[in-house]
């Protein structure tokens, strides 16, 4: 289905190139030190229901044609954008926005199970997710990346973004954002 939409958007020449040859660029979060440390909890998940933290590493792949400048996209632009996104998550308590009860006196009151806990406002990062998991973080980061670089991504004909969030010890989740699906 994505190829029909891509054909209408980019035309026959572009589509034939994409179907013939696929390229991608990859920025490895472990090697490039694109990381953040954060606390969270996962409802209805046994011991993960308790507040705990991870050192997350974030990697990305972007699929598309090689442009006339010889690149799919400039690595430095990808790295700096990804780093800006994860820096806003670093050393925070990650909370689903639906769990925020109120903000008052520099505190954020968060519903956790049957309790309401108070956290310093500057320590909380509110996220538009149902639950804070590696899967949801990968999706959130992919969406933010596309929001920031959408014009450049469309201009270059990039048709797929994959964001991988590694929470340590070989545990990782990947979100695949197909741009023409």
Give the residue numbers marked as catalytic. Answer: 48, 91, 167
Q: Is 31 exposed, middle or buried (0-12, 13-18, 19+ CB in 10 A)?
A: exposed
The DSSP element (H or E) to which 82 belongs, if any, is helix 75-87
Angle 140-179-136 (CA atoms, 0-180°, nearest 5)? 20
Report CA-CA distances (Å) from 16 to 12, 55, 156, 161. Answer: 6, 42, 15, 20
In this structure, what token pair is assigned to residue 17?
């190139």
Tell which residue, 111, 128, 131, has the closest CA to residue 119: 111
């Amino acid at each position: 289905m994505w190829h029909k939409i891509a054909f209408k958007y980019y035309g026959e020449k572009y589509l034939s190139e994409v179907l013939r040859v696929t390229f991608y660029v990859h920025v490895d979060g472990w090697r490039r030190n694109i990381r953040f440390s954060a606390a969270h909890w996962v409802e209805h998940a046994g011991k993960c229901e308790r507040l705990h933290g991870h050192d997350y590493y974030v990697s990305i792949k972007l699929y598309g044609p090689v442009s006339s400048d010889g690149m799919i996209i400039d690595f430095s632009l990808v790295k700096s954008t990804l780093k800006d996104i994860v820096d806003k998550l670093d050393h925070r308590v990650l909370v689903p926005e639906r769990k925020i009860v109120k903000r008052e006196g520099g505190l954020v009151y968060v519903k956790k199970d049957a309790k309401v806990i108070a956290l310093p406002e500057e320590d909380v990062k509110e996220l538009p997710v149902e639950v804070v998991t590696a899967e949801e973080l990968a999706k959130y980061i992919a969406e933010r990346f596309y929001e920031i670089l959408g014009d450049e991504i469309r201009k270059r004909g990039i048709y797929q973004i994959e964001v991988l969030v590694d929470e340590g010890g070989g545990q990782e989740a990947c979100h695949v954002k197909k741009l023409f699906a």
